[in-house]
């Protein structure tokens, strides 16, 4: 009996591209990936993918992309790993979420769609770096609408953490619901790929 592929060809192509050398225009052909392991190890892998949190990590451009993998079965009853949108972290001693620079900054909006006086300079899965464009007192907390290019906006809430040396305000994002979190994660990943073409597939 032949080993069954654990990930799809598209997923394998993407992971291999993450590990290819930056600037290289040639892509190596991606062979079918078979698990070269004993039955016990494959059983353990399948169990972890089906019952635990199994992740695949890629290190590129001084960042760490963490993909959550789920074991799924296709119409031919072949099991393979399905990768979700990755979380992106900065490589280093601390586990800090990668921050997406927004240039130009984006205004958070009120419920009536009018721009607020809070403008986002950087965005991550758990925080924002904001400029206050008015002379009012710094808000300790806000609940506003975050526009996402190419997607519907999402409602975000933030709590003030500190003021930075250059006068910006660091806010921690309150936890989003599952749908909002997934959309924010997808948006950040899409923008990360645009900023780092070396991790895009040719």
Residues 191-200 have pLDDT tens digits of 888 887 766 5
Average pLDDT of the segment spanning 56-81: 77
Is 1 inside a domain boundary?
A: no
Share of the chain above pLDDT 70, in %: 76
Domain end (from 92, 121, 156)? 92
Q: What is the pLDDT of residue 9?
A: 57
- Band (28; pLDDT cuts 50, 70, 90): very low
Number of H helices, E strands in the chain: 3, 11
What domain range includes position 164? 99-199
Q: Are 189 and 115 contained in the same domain?
A: yes
Per cent of the chain over pLDDT 90 is 36
Last residue of a domain, one of 92, 113, 143: 92
Instruction: Find the range with the poorest average confidence among 15-29, 110-124, 176-190.
Output: 15-29
Q: Averaged over 120-124, what is the pLDDT?
A: 96
Whether the per-residue pLDDT at 140 is higher than 80: the answer is yes
Q: Could you tell me if 119 and 191 lie in one domain? A: yes
Tell whether 88 and 103 lie within a shared domain: no
119 within some domain: yes
Across residues 83-90, what is the average pLDDT? 82
Is residue 38 predicted with pLDDT exceeding 70?
A: no
Q: What is the pLDDT of residue 27?
A: 41
Buried b or exposed e, range 134-167, using 16+ CB within 10 angstroms: eeeeebeebebbbebeeeeebebebeeeeeeeee
Q: Give, in degrees to the nearest 5, the angle at Cα 168 between 166 and 169.
A: 140
Say yes or no to pLDDT of 144 above 90. yes
Q: Judge whether 121 lies within some domain.
A: yes
Q: End-to-end alpha-carbon separation of the chain, Å?
A: 35
Distance, in Å, from the CA atom of 63 to the CA atom of 66, rounded to the nearest integer, reads: 10
In this structure, the answer to whether residues 110 and 77 fall within a common structural domain is: no
In this prediction, residues 17-43 reach a mean pLDDT of 52
Range name among 33-42, 65-74, 90-99 with the lowest pLDDT average: 33-42
Number of structural domains in the chain: 2
pTM over 0.75: no
DSSP 130-197: EEE-SSSPPPSEEEEEEEETTEEEEEEEEEEEEE-TTS-EEEEEPPPPHHHHHHHHHHHHHHHHHH-G
Asked whether residue 4 is assigned to any structural domain, the reply reads no
The tally of CA atoms less than 13 A away on the side-chain side of residue 186 is: 15
Q: Kindly tell me if the per-residue pLDDT of 31 is higher than 60.
A: no
What distance lies between CA 200 and its chain's CA centroid?
14
**Residue 3, in any domain of the structure:** no
Angstrom distance (rounded) from CA 37 to CA 34: 9
């Amino acid at each position: 009996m032949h080993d069954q592929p654990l990930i799809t060809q598209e997923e394998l192509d993407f992971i291999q591209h993450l590990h290819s050398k930056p600037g290289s225009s040639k892509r190596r052909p991606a062979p079918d990936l078979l698990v070269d392991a004993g039955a016990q190890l494959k059983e353990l892998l399948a169990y972890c993918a089906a019952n635990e949190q199994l992740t695949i990590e890629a290190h590129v451009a001084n960042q760490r992309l963490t993909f959550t993998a789920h074991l799924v079965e296709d119409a031919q009853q072949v099991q393979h790993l399905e990768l979700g949108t990755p979380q992106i972290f900065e490589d280093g001693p601390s586990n800090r979420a990668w921050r997406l620079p927004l240039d130009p900054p984006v205004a958070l909006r009120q419920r009536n769609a009018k721009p607020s006086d809070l403008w986002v300079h950087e965005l991550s899965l758990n925080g924002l770096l904001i400029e206050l464009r008015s002379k009012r007192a710094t808000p300790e907390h806000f609940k506003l609408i975050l526009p996402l290019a190419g997607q519907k906006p999402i409602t975000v809430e933030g709590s003030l953490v500190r003021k930075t040396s250059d006068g910006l305000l660091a806010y921690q994002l309150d936890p989003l619901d599952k749908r909002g979190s997934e959309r924010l994660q997808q948006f950040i990943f899409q923008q990360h790929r645009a900023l780092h073409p070396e991790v895009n597939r040719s």
